[in-house]
Amino acid sequence: MDKGVVEKEVLAPQGGGDGTGSNAIWAVALIIIVGLIVGALYYSGVLRRLTNPQQPQKVNVEVQAPPAPAAPAPANR
């Protein structure tokens, strides 16, 4: 019994992933991902600090000595 080797060429289907619809889906996915990253940076405060540099805050502080205690009332003897 001789066994023969049979070869057959199988071609993969063409056009999978190269269509306009696929490109549009990838574009929408990319916009959503970038939006999520930018939103996370904004709400964490990193992006806010980059776009709005904080000015040094000035605080008006008045320092006063406490009033002198009143003289004690004379003791009645």
The region, left, alpha or beta by phi > 0 then psi within -120 to 50, assigned to residue 16 is: beta
Rounding to the nearest 10 degrees, give the CA dihedral for residues 30, 35, 40, 41.
100
The band of 1, judged by pLDDT with boundaries at 50, 70 and 90, is low
pLDDT for 19 equals 76
Which one-letter amino acid corresponds to residue 67?
A: P
Q: Average pLDDT for residues 19-27, to the nearest whole number?
A: 86
- Residue count of the chain: 77
Cα dihedral sign, 22-28-30-36: negative
pLDDT digits (tens, 9 = 90+) for 24-75: 999 999 999 999 999 998 888 887 777 777 777 788 888 888 888 887 777 7
